[in-house]
Structure 1
Amino acid sequence: MKPIGYWLNRTDKALTAHMNGMPADFGLTRTAWQVLNVVDDTPEAGDADVHAALAANADAPARTAAVATVLADGWTTRPAPAPGRLALSSGVVNYPRISLGRPRLTRCRTRGTATMSQHEMTFRAIDVGDGGDGRWAAHAQALWPLAEEWMSEEGRSPEGADRARKLFEAHMPELVPVLDRLARRLDRPGGGTFLTLAAVRPFFSGCTQIGGSGTLLRNYDFSPDACEGTVVSSRFLRPVIGMQEALWGLLDGMNDAGLAVSLTFGGRFVHGPGFSIVIVLRYLLETCDTVDEAIGRLRSIPIAIPQNVTLVDSRRAVTVFVGPDIPLTVASDACAANHQHLPVPDEQERFSRTRERLSAVRAAGTDVVAMLRPPLYQSAYEEGLGTVYTAHYRPREGRVSYVWPGESWEQSFDDFAVGSRTVTAGRAG
């Protein structure tokens, strides 16, 4: 299984299911988006080409209206001396895409160099409290159409839903009241089952991370269009700040006790019964004060795919390997890329550069500047392996910096700033 194939499939499903919900002020419907596809794919496309290509998707009036919309809004032009033809407007090279969590409409201009493409991304910071006052629900309901695509076929059956619930109750009992509260607020069919994150399809990412001296530093490498990009401050059981995924899971984060955790994919494409790692990180931060306590809990939790977890507190920094086919194994040092055991197959190394990145992060240590340069800063965005953010956690201080080349966003328990930040990924420092 290749990560890019999975995410291309997911993106296609998301586009198909949700293009109709794009913001009305842009006036871009799903049919209009399909017009842009035809124009982009067909040199010197004319109105007749558009009507022929989209005949099965919309009736003639809808197709005509869509053509008029993309002309009027500046997405396309009538190039002289061919008034019956359509072309993308100058600079429009990437028409609207859907990112997990919110519709995003951009006219992206090529800013690439010979070695690295650049992607503009908007990250958001939200405070959801304990999930009971509507703030979490408003965000989650907007995400739900895309999040629902993660649900496994088994999870959609009554038997699968029951198994997921029982697994959650058995391994994360402290979070059951939170799960029920959020499920009521979400108020969507299958929402409670989804929130267990024990009945979802697997996802695979890149990433490099290292812990030491009370610091956790990581690069999250993924497809920019598939990264939710939401920094969340919550108080479900205790204060937690982290980068959210899948409505309430976490890719990385810290709690008020001074514990920080982060994940990377373990590099082996195997799958078994168990939880998505993002809910496991949430559970550890909600219930544990120290690295030792978190490792103790982690030993008994079934994990659906191989993952590397780095944990940091004021005394220790540890990386452990977990997965459906191995017991928890403590790594030789507190850093990880995208493998668990040697040797790494040559094809995997060519694709992911995991050994190269692990050697580089070991040599650099917890150096933010090094994380913003190749080989740790990756540019393979089309393969879902480009660096979309760097996170620098100082859990003893209750502080985290989200970093991009030339820009950073500071957040803390004492001063959490709700808002948004638009950044450029792919511009190595």
Structure 2
Amino acid sequence: MQLNWRAISEAEPGPSWAGLFREYWPAYHRWWVREGAEARPGYLDSRKALRAHMPEMLPLYEQLCELAGGSDHASRFLSFYCPPPYLSGCSQAIWPGEEPVLVRNYDYSAKAFDSLVLRTAWQGRAVMGTSDGLWGLVDGINDAGLAVSLTFGGRRVVGDGFGVPLVLRYVLQTCETAKEAGEVLKRVPTHMSYNVTVVDAQRKYLTALMAPDRATVITNAAVATNHQERVEWASHARFTATVERERFLLQRLTLHVEPEEKFIGAFLRPPLYSSAFDQGFGTLYTAVYRPWQAQMELRWPKAKWQLNLNEFHDDTRVIFTPEAAL
């Protein structure tokens, strides 16, 4: 399977972002209206929710809506408020070496993936991460050395809240420490259940278990897969092997501290690496975040791409991903 990746930097929202929106919008629009536009909240409700829960983001949101053309559908989509439900796989863990390192696999459909790393300096905060929805992020790092990543929480409940990629963007735009991030994750509502792992430059970390129908639980877990405190969606758990992947990672972290490179390499092989691409749960990439170095590294079984927040260069990569188990 071939994926064409891009790394793009634009300090303030401008022509590069507007061009990306024009390119991606037709596919995103089809997804957003698949249940009918009336199934999504209106513009005023969406903007009101942003103002209530993420007020610092409102000027940026309005700027992006204008660049996107200002249409009703585009503006509602960009709010990330109550989007259509979507599922992913994913594994993530914090390697307990001298330098904090966050490692994650992103298991999702290649047909619904941006294949894009964005480096921005919006509102004076430098942020780099893997794009979703053109300003949301599924993982990323900021100039304070705060790194964050998400996994699906393994529950079918859908409620009123935001798509979690925008919540990750909000954390990186406004927080510098894991403690600050935890406070944000406790108060911002999400439309589905997600596990968000955060690590900062002081080696403090947490995993927030977010859900639309109950209070967020802040834990000191260094590992997250696709369930929360217990399995609540048995068929999804079996299909994604969430319990097996969690046990595998916990065993590697608790029995002995192995070298960083060996730990990262485990993400590129089963049981963590998934080849279920035809079912929408293949491993599209492994990301390694090093807060002390402001560094993000993308890995695949036969390729590696290193990006630095402070020395970022626009670039492209053509990645051929194995479609069979390694």
Assess same fold via TM > 0.5. Answer: yes
Find the aligned partners of 1:389 and 1:332 in 2 and give their Cα distance: 25
Q: What percent identity do the matched residue pairs reach?
A: 37
Q: Which runs of 5+ in 1 are unaligned?
A: 1-118
Contact 1:208 1:336 in 2 (8 A): yes
Report the equivalent of 1:208. Answer: 91
* Structure of higher CA gyration radius: 1
- SS in structure 2 of the partner of residue 396 of structure 1: helix
Aligned-partner Cα distance in 1 for 2:177–2:2 = 37
- The structural deviation recorded for 1:350 is 2.3
Q: Distance in 2 between matches of 1:231 and 1:344?
A: 33
Q: Could you tell me which of 175, 192, 202 is aligned with 2:75? A: 192
Aligned counterparts of 2:150 and 2:43: Cα–Cα separation in 1 = 26
How far apart, CA to CA, are the structure 2 residues paired with 1:311 and 1:363?
21
Distance 2:158 2:322 in 1: 31
Q: How far apart are 1:290 and its partner, in Å?
A: 0.5
Tell me the alpha carbon deviations over residues 99-125 of structure 1, each in whole angstroms, 9 at most, x when there is no partner: xxxxxxxxxxxxxxxxxxxx1211111
1:223–1:159 CA distance, 2 compared to 1 (3 A) = closer
Question: 191, 195, 220: which is aligned to 1:304?
Answer: 191
Q: Give the deviation of 1:274 after TM superposition.
A: 0.5
Distance in 2 between the 1:158 and 1:331 partners? Answer: 32
Matched, 1:225 2:82: no
Residue number in structure 1 paired with 2:25:
144
Deviations 1:77-111 (A, max 9, x none): xxxxxxxxxxxxxxxxxxxxxxxxxxxxxxxxxxx
User: Which residue among 154, 159, 162 is the counterpart of 1:275?
Assistant: 162
Structure 2 residue 307 is the aligned partner of structure 1 residue 387: no
What SS does the corresponding residue of 2:293 show, helix, strand or coil? Answer: coil
1:320 pairs with 2:201: no
Structure 2 residue runs of 5 or longer lacking an equivalent are 254-259
Q: What secondary structure, in the 3-state scheme, does the structure 1 residue paired with 2:111 have?
A: helix
Distance 1:235 1:156, change over 3 A: farther
Counterpart code for 2:300: W
Alpha-carbon deviation of 1:342? 2.0
The higher-RCO structure (CA 8 Å, 6+ apart) is 2
Q: Deviations over 1:371-428 (max 9, x none)?
A: 0010000111111111010000002210010000121100012221212111122266
Query: What one-letter code is carried by the residue in structure 1 that aligns with 2:274?
Result: Q
TM-score (normalizing by structure 1): 0.69
Please say if residues 207 and 219 of structure 1, whose CA atoms lie closer than 8 Å, have aligned partners that are also in contact: yes
For 2:267 and 2:40, the matched residues in 1 are separated by 45
Length, aligned pairs only = 310
In structure 2, relative to structure 1, the CA distance for the partners of 1:175 and 1:232 (3 Å cut) is: same
Q: Matched residues in 1 for 2:41 and 2:234: separation?
A: 41
Q: For 2:60, which of 173, 178, 194 is the aligned residue? A: 178
- How far apart in 2 are the matches of 1:289 and 1:302? 20
Could you tell me whether the CA contact under 8 Å between 2:284 and 2:321 is conserved in 1?
yes
Match of 2:311 in 1: 415
Q: Deviations over 1:40-94 (max 9, x none)?
A: xxxxxxxxxxxxxxxxxxxxxxxxxxxxxxxxxxxxxxxxxxxxxxxxxxxxxxx
Find the aligned partners of 1:386 and 1:158 in 2 and give their Cα distance: 28
CA contact (8 A) 2:141 2:147 kept: yes
Q: How does 1:18-33 map to 2 (within 5 A)?
A: none
RMSD of the alignment, in Å? Answer: 1.9
TM-score with structure 2 setting the length: 0.90
Which amino acid counterpart does residue 117 of structure 2 have in structure 1? Answer: V
Whichever residue aligns with residue 409 of structure 1, its letter is W
